[in-house]
């Protein structure tokens, strides 16, 4: 479903451009949840940003196929409309725009792109209420401005409500578990399962913690270090990383 092949990418910084992804290959077939773990600065968020098409990130080599098509042929909003969802590590605040207005317009814009009928105000509110309920988020929060005044945990939970409403085919979730307390972590994990587990769906789950993986139960786990996937295994790899740390597991892989 998502096929990343030999991806090289650089980011424009203040002191010129810097290569971050250095030949990253990874494939996530439909129906799978693939966890990505790795040390800080390894390039995990960069991968998410390159997949999303964030300005300032340039692909210099390699390719990404999404649902059999060249992802880089699409503008960021077209990627979203074709079913790619990004859960942000740091969700952005949009003063003056309510969640309801933002998400209804986003959903209807995606539906239009796919040749589907728009949802009416009433239909949208019903859907939003259902998905907010799933994440145990008060509907009142959705009437407020996008992420403005939300705590770190509330922002992450709101990301999952957005995902529920938009119902993507594939989600790239960047540290969605950071900033969550134990109860919220379970709610978010179960939310991911109920929204994204299913035929024809896939998830790339970037995380540092086993706790989320206890709930979401990934099919595959990969380690990303210095811009490449250095090791891939089953769920037991995550348990070993938690017990022994990145350095030990990576040293063994290199040996």
Partner 1 sequence: MYPQEPQWAREAIRAGNEKDIKMTEAQTLPTRRDEAWRYADIDAVQRLGTAALDAWQDIAVANGETWQDTMVIGTDAPELRRIRLTLGEGATAAIFVTNTGRDFTRVEVEVTLGKGAHFEFGGVTIGGGDAVREFVTTTIHAEPDATSNQTVRAVHWGTGTGNFLGEIKVARHAQKTDAAQDFKGLLLEAGASANAVPQLEIFADDVKCAHGATVGQLDEAARYYMAARGLSPEQSQRLLVQAFLGDAFVELDDEAAREKLLEAALTALEGASL
Contact footprint for partner 1 (CB under 8 A)? 52-55, 75-77, 79-81, 85-86, 88, 91-97, 101-103, 105-107, 109-110, 113, 162, 166
3-state secondary structure 6-18: EEEEEEEECCEEE
Total chain residues near Mg ion (CB under 5 A): 3
Stretch that binds ligand ADP, among 38-46, 95-103, 124-132, 137-145 (CB under 6 A): 38-46
**Where does 119-234 have alpha helices with state H?**
121-134, 139-143, 152-166, 182-196, 210-216
Q: By CB under 6 A, is residue 42 in contact with ligand ADP?
A: yes
The residues in 95-134 that bind ligand ADP, with binding defined as CB under 6 A, are none
Nearest to Mg ion of 128, 221 (CB atom): 221
For residue 80, what are the CA distances in angstroms to 58, 187, 254?
A: 19, 24, 37
For residue 104, what are the CA distances in angstroms to 12, 111, 165, 210?
A: 33, 10, 9, 34
Q: By CB under 6 A, is residue 23 in contact with ligand ADP?
A: no
Residue 62 contacts which entry, Mg ion, partner 1, ligand ADP, none (Cβ below 5-8 A, type-dependent): none
Stretch that binds ligand ADP, among 12-20, 71-79, 117-125, 189-197 (CB under 6 A): 12-20
Q: By CB under 6 A, is residue 223 in contact with ligand ADP?
A: no
Do 51 and 86 meet the contact criterion of CB atoms below 8 Å apart?
yes
Residue 91 contacts which entry, partner 1, Mg ion, ligand ADP, none (Cβ below 5-8 A, type-dependent): partner 1
Nearest to 127 by CA among 82, 163, 86, 176: 163
Residue 20 contacts which entry, partner 1, Mg ion, ligand ADP, none (Cβ below 5-8 A, type-dependent): ligand ADP
Q: Which residues contact 71 (CB under 8 A, 6 or more apart)?
A: 51, 64, 65, 79, 84
Which string of DSSP letters, residue by residue, matches 43-56? SHHHHHHHHHT-TT
Token digits of residue 168: 């993507």
Nearest to partner 1 of 53, 189 (CB atom): 53
Q: Which of 4, 35, 36, 45 binds Mg ion (CB under 5 A)?
A: 45
Nearest to Mg ion of 38, 164 (CB atom): 38
Q: How far is the CB of 54 from partner 1 (least distance, A)?
A: 5
- Pair type for strands 2-13 and 57-66: antiparallel
Nearest to Mg ion of 41, 245 (CB atom): 41
Q: By CB under 6 A, is residue 20 in contact with ligand ADP?
A: yes
Instruction: Tell me which residue has tokens 């706790």.
Output: 211
Instruction: Give backbone dihedrals phi and psi of 247, rounded to 5 degrees, phi first.
Output: -60, -45
């Amino acid at each position: 479903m998502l096929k990343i092949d030999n991806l090289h990418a650089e980011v424009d910084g203040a002191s010129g451009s810097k290569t971050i992804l250095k030949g990253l290959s990874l494939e996530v077939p439909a129906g799978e949840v693939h966890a990505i773990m790795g040390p800080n600065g390894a390039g995990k968020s960069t991968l998410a940003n390159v997949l999303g098409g964030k300005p300032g990130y340039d692909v210099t080599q390699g390719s990404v196929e999404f649902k059999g098509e060249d992802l880089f042929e699409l503008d960021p909003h077209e990627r979203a409309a074709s079913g790619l969802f990004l859960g942000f590590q740091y969700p952005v605040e949009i003063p003056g725009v309510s969640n309801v207005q933002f998400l209804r317009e986003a959903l209807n814009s995606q539906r239009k792109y796919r040749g589907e009928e728009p949802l009416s105000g009433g239909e949208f509110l019903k859907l939003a209420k259902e998905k907010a309920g799933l994440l145990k988020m008060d509907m009142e929060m959705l009437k407020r401005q996008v992420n403005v005044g939300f705590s770190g945990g509330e922002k992450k939970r709101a990301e999952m409500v957005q995902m529920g409403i938009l119902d993507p085919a594939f989600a790239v979730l960047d540290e969605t578990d950071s900033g969550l307390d134990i109860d919220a972590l379970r709610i978010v994990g179960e939310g991911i399962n109920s929204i994204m587990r299913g035929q024809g769906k896939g998830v790339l789950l970037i995380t540092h913690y086993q706790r989320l993986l206890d709930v979401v139960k990934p099919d595959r786990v990969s380690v990303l270090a210095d811009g490449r996937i250095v090791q891939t295994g089953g769920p037991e790899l995550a348990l070993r990383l938690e017990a022994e740390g990145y350095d030990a597991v990576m040293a063994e892989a290199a040996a």
